[in-house]
Amino acid sequence: MKLSLDLEYSTPPEWANQVLEDFDSFLQDHADCERKASSMAMSFVAKCPDKVEIIPELIDTALEELEHFQAVYQLMEKRGVRLPDRMPKDTYIDRLIKLCRSSVQERLMDRMLLASIIECRGAERFRLVAEAAQDAEIKQFYKRLWTSEAKHGHIFVKFALNYWPEEEVYERLEYLNREEGKICESTPWRAALH
Ligand SMILES: [Fe+2]
Ligand SMILES: [Fe+2]
């Protein structure tokens, strides 16, 4: 059952052009996003040791994201691309975090729902890369990742539904989804996931 919402803003397919034009830079950013996604899943474990219902799946998610990081890194190695010393700031993520409310429980709920939206955006953009890529290996690689990230989009909503009423979850998710659409639309394109 699909629990995540459809994204409010659809990225134009042309977005994938500059990714493919500077694919090595895109891979560096992509690797960084996977590493952060793994850390984010584990940070939920650290923040809520009492939420035993979701901890096993959070650990699975962290492992899957780490596997994604490994797969991207292997692709980088093949192409002779290294991890950069420093990554530019991800303003998309910074602006999303600013939307979170400040009380502990509300902030936790917002972070979970944002995680769902970020996963859905990753799935959408990996799909665009898969569709635009000419290289069969790259096409296959991003197709596999797109299905995996779409699944993560659902599970973060499922996690939230364990602890907050459905109406409250979806009302907030709709709000965050709309705001994410505005942020995404106003973020200049670069050879990066966001
Ligand atoms: Fe991932
Ligand atoms: Fe993911």
Q: What is the pLDDT of residues 32-41, one digit of tens each?
A: 999 999 999 9
Which of 117, 92, 104 minimizes the C-alpha distance to 170?
A: 117
Proximal ligand: closest to the CA of 193: 1
The residues spanned by each domain of the chain are 18-186
Supply φ then ψ for residue 19, to 5 degrees.
-65, -45
Residues with CB under 5 A from ligand 1 (ion): 34, 65, 68
- The residue-averaged pLDDT of 47-70 equals 96
Q: Coil, helix or strand for 90? A: coil
Sign of CA pseudo-dihedral 121, 127, 132, 137: positive
Q: Where are the alpha helices (DSSP H) in 22-165?
A: 23-47, 55-79, 91-97, 104-132, 136-163
Q: Is the pLDDT of residue 1 over 80?
A: no
Mean pLDDT of 90-106: 96
- The SS3 of residue 194 is coil
Sign of CA dihedral 47, 3, 176, 167: negative
In this model, does residue 42 exceed pLDDT 90?
Answer: yes
Check: CB of residue 8 under 8 Å from CB of residue 180.
Answer: yes
Question: Length of the chain in residues, anyone?
Answer: 194
Homologous superfamily of domain range 18-186? Ferritin, core subunit, four-helix bundle (1.20.1260.10)
Residue 37 Cα to ligand 2 middle (Å): 6
User: To the nearest whole percent, how much of the chain has pLDDT over 90?
Assistant: 97
CA–centroid distance, residue 118 to ligand 2 (Å): 8
